Structures are given as C-alpha cells and as structure tokens.
Amino acid sequence: MNNFSNTHLAKYGFATPARRKTTAFQLVDGKRLKSLVKDLDTADQEALVKQSFSGKSGQIAWLSGDNLWIGWNGKHGLQTLGSLPFKLPGGFYRCESELEEIDLIGWGLGSYQFDRYKKQDRSPSILVASKTKKLQRALEAIDPTYLARDLINTPSQDMSPADFEKVTKRVAKQFSAKVSVMRGDALLKSGCGAIHAVGRAAEVPPRLIELTWGNKKNPTIAIVGKGVTFDSGGLNIKPGGSMRQMKKDMGGAAIALGLAKLVMSRELPIHLKLLIPLAENAISGNAFRPGDILQTHKGITVEIDNTDAEGRLLLCDALSISLGYKPELIIDFATLTGAARVAVGTEISAMFCTNAEDTQALMASGDDQDDPVWPLPLHEGYEYMLASNVADITNSAPGGYAGATTAALFLKRFVDTTPWIHFDVMAFNARTRPARPEGGEAMGMRATYEFLERRYGNS
Ligand code: BES
Ligand code: ZN
Ligand code: ZN
C-alpha cells in the first residue's frame, strides 16, 4: 500500500482537515436549479443572474456569506471537480455534497502541473477531505497518472532509455518488485534483433526492462509498453510537423509503468510481468534501413519497408519474450499509428481485443472511469497486406488503408493464441479539458485497471 504523505497530498491538490479556514461549496445539479433558486433570497437570486449561473458543469457562483455553488451535470465523473483547482481562487475548500472516488480523482488530475522547467504562476486550490478509503483509492489512481504524465512531458534529452530505466527501478523498489534489464548487444544475444535494430543508432543504447511482482501462484498477466524515447522516423525521417511531438512516443511505456504501479499499490492478486522495450529511433551511419531483414525473438523474419514503423518492432520482441512466462492475458499500450488517431481522434484510446467479451468489459470499465476506449477490428482478412517476398512479413503494409489494424495484425503474429488486448493511444491531451491538462496523459490506464480489478480483485 502507498502511504501518501502531506507533501504528496498537497501536490495532488488535497489536504486533510486541520484547524484552517476553508470555503465550503456544494454541487448544484443544473436540472434542479429552478427549485433551489426559489429558496434563495432576492439578493442571492440577483447574484446568480449577475454571474450568469445556469448550473452547467464547473460553473462557479458566489452567494452571500461565502456560500459557493458549483454547477454539476448530475453525473459523478472527472468533469466537474476536474475544472476547479485552477478556476477557483487559490485557497482551501471543502465540499458539502457527497463525492465519489471518481470526483476526487477529477480534482487530483485537474491539479496537475508540469513544473520541471518553468515555474508556474500559481499552485492549485486545495480540497480538504478526510482520509477515507475513497480518498486513499483516488490518490492511488492519481499518483500513477502523474507519473505517466511527467514521463511523457519530459523532453527526450532528459528521458532517454537510461532515464526511463532509472524511474522504473525506483518504482520497483517502492513495491519490492524485481527488475532485470538487457542492454545493447545483450539484446542480440537473446535474439531480440528487432529492439536492437531500432535503437542501435542512438547514443544511449536500447534495452528491455522486465519487472516482476506478486505471488507466482496468482494468474500471470503481462503488461507491455512501447518505449520509443524519441521517434525521428529513422532513415524514413518524419517531416518537422509530425516529429514535433515525438518525445511522447514512450507514452505506451509510461502508461504501462503507471498501470503496474496502480496494480502494485492496490495489491491486486495477480502475478505481474511488466516488459518495457526502450529505444530512440535515431539516425546515424549504423541505423537500420528500408529493405533490411530483421531476425526477431520469435524466429519470424521481418523485412523493413519503413523505419518509421518502429513501434511494432520494439513490441514484437517484448511480446514474444512475454510468452515464455505463459501469461493468461497480455496487455500492451503503444503510440503506434497515426491511423488510429484518424479513426477515433486524439481523445479516445483505440483498442484491439482477441476476445469479444473483454471488449465489452473494457468499454464498460472505461465508461465508469471516464477513460473512454473504443474497439477497432482485428480483421484477419487484411493479413495479406503484411506479405513480403523475401521475409516472413513486412513491418509496414503498402497503401496505408486500415493502418491501425495492420499494425495490430503484425503484433498478433507474436502473441500466438494467448488472449491479448492492444491499445493504440495518443498518450497526450491535445487541448486542455477539465482534469485533462494539455500534455502527456495516461490514456487507457484507469479503464484497464478497473477491468483487471473486476476480473481478479478480491472484493
Ligand atoms: N509514433 C508513430 C505513430 C504516431 C504518430 C502516434 C502520431 C501518435 C501520433 C509511429 O511510430 C509511426 O510513425 N507510425 C507510422 C507507421 C507507418 C510508417 C506504417 C504512421 O502511423 O504513419
Ligand atoms: Zn515511427
Ligand atoms: Zn513511433
């Protein structure tokens, strides 16, 4: 269990009750507004009109006697409280309406700031809440989200494969998990020719981190994350505009590590295998080339059609290694294709599932967690697009139609018949929304945890 200190609480926008002045607010359901207004005196009724308060989610109205109303859409979720930490004047607040865990998560996620390189104008307002189970659980979900966001927001210069390894080891230590790392040429010796090829041109060598946690008698679940610390495209270099955000190409790895942290802090009774392949897709004299043929860990040969389709190369070796642990389920996260973004946009996680029931369960968990995921087809009829004349498969299908599906079909070759869930995510909020500040985001993490807890949890 994670014991959150007061410094942590403040960082996440919370404080526990103490003798300090707090401003109380209540959530006012827009639908019930009319009947509530009737009970106000005329001065307060006028105050509402002056502040154009219509009860919309996140709207603020100050009434007499420091009475504070917050508009609410009647649904517990990230939206309402998630907008407040930087909208309310700085200070301490307490909520008089009953809050759910997801509301508290909203406040915490809305309090996030990335201040490693720039001092921020103000700190978030603080919600004073007693140390209940709800708050503890909310903090357990907020903390790994902050971790993933920080990792993604950190520029590649400070988030190399070696930097990511350090962070992983720190997390592992906190929960007494075991970590092993294969670096550089050791990857070749273990047969991971694909991870090695993607990362060998970079200054900092590629690596595969394995974190193991939990009782071996519990079901083994493998979690895998794409860790490309910068994606220049390689020799198939990306144009400037497309390269601009590619520090986030380790977003899958960040989300996978966040999910692992959530699993460990809540002591979910599973046997966890986290595999994180890390590489920078850089350009130099020894970079891998279009036309090269890679030997993968699974023994499948891959012809390189495009060095920018590097994520699937990292993942294929990691997935193949995970099979050795005989997991009953494999889950991976990756900023894998632009095509997934074209299909579902930047605010939904695209998902591919080998099991139709898992698809439904994940969508339901995503709904409840306000972390939307949506399935795309794992249509085997498109496998022909991965054919190569000189190798077993190619890393990029010609034409580009169904690009997210062909990428998923590529990966599927490396998981055999093991039940598998694959997320193709943005890992980045392109715009600020309540609880979702612009920048790195742990998309799909809470949806997946909820799914796992429903299946494997004790309660
Ligand atoms: N990291 C990119 C995919 C990406 C781009 C994710 C933008 C999110 C936002 C990935 O490595 C890539 O470049 N994929 C190519 C694959 C293509 C060459 C088959 C793509 O999607 O264009
Ligand atoms: Zn790429
Ligand atoms: Zn990439």
How far does the centroid of ligand 2 lie from the alpha carbon of residue 113, in Å? 28
How far does the centroid of ligand 1 lie from the alpha carbon of residue 385, in Å? 17
Task: Give the model's pLDDT for residue 316.
Answer: 99
> What's the pLDDT tens digit per position in 141-163?
999 999 999 999 999 999 999 99
290 CB within 6 A, ligand 1: no
Probe residue for ligand 1, chosen from 243, 314, 337, 347 as the CB with the greatest number of ligand atoms within 8 Å: 337
What are the 10-residue block averages of pLDDT along the chain, 459 residues in total?
Answer: 83 92 94 91 96 95 93 96 97 97 98 97 96 96 98 99 99 98 98 98 98 98 99 98 98 99 98 99 98 98 98 99 98 98 98 98 98 98 98 96 98 98 98 98 99 93
Closest CA to 355 of 324, 316, 328: 328
Helices 251-265 and 133-153 pack at an angle, to 10 degrees, of 160
**Domains detected in the chain:** 6-127 (3.40.220.10), 141-456 (3.40.630.10)
Mark whether 433 is an active-site residue. no
Q: Residue 289 and residue 370: Cα distance in Å, rounded?
A: 42
Mark whether 431 is an active-site residue. no
Task: Give the model's pLDDT for residue 459.
Answer: 67
pTM tops 0.85 = yes
> What's the pLDDT tens digit per position in 159-196?
999 999 999 999 999 999 999 999 999 999 999 999 99
Q: What are phi and psi of 121, to 5 degrees?
A: -60, -40
Q: Are the CB atoms for 370 and 81 separated by under 8 Å?
A: no
